[in-house]
């Protein structure tokens, strides 16, 4: 093998090594780019899931609070009705008592 053939073979090997290095760098950049894209998707999905879970928790809390408020309103209405009924029953007795008290003065 002559010196020219050896040099040509070295140059050819260097070009092949440079091409392989360039391809490896391209592959590495693609892997990093894909990883960034995937991580962004994961973060976005996690944020969406978090919002959904928070909304579900809030909806459940509102529902429970609404049921509790309805119960309090119902109990309050029952108490008011009872007081009103008792007051109506005792109204004539109160008037009689008031008239007796006023007439004894």
With tokens 């009103």, the residue in question is 84
Residue 94 confidence (pLDDT): 83
Calculate the CA 63 to chain-centre distance.
16
Number of H helices, E strands in the chain: 1, 0
pTM of the model as a whole: 0.55
Q: Domain coordinates of the chain in residue numbers? A: 1-77
pLDDT bucket at 35, cuts 50 / 70 / 90: very high
pLDDT digits (tens, 9 = 90+) for 65-96: 999 999 999 999 999 999 999 988 888 888 88
Can you tell me the mean pLDDT for 20-39?
A: 98
Predicted confidence at residue 98, as pLDDT, reads 84
């Amino acid at each position: 093998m002559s010196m020219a053939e050896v040099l040509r073979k070295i140059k050819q090997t260097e070009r092949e090594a440079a091409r392989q290095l360039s391809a490896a760098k391209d592959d590495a950049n693609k892997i990093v780019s894909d990883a960034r894209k995937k991580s962004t998707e994961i973060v976005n999905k996690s944020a969406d899931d978090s919002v959904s879970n928070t909304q579900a928790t809030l909806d459940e809390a509102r529902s429970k609070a609404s049921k509790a408020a309805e119960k309090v309103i119902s109990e309050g209405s029952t108490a008011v009705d009872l007081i009103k009924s008792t007051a109506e029953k005792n109204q004539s007795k109160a008037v009689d008592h008031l008239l007796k008290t006023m007439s004894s003065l």
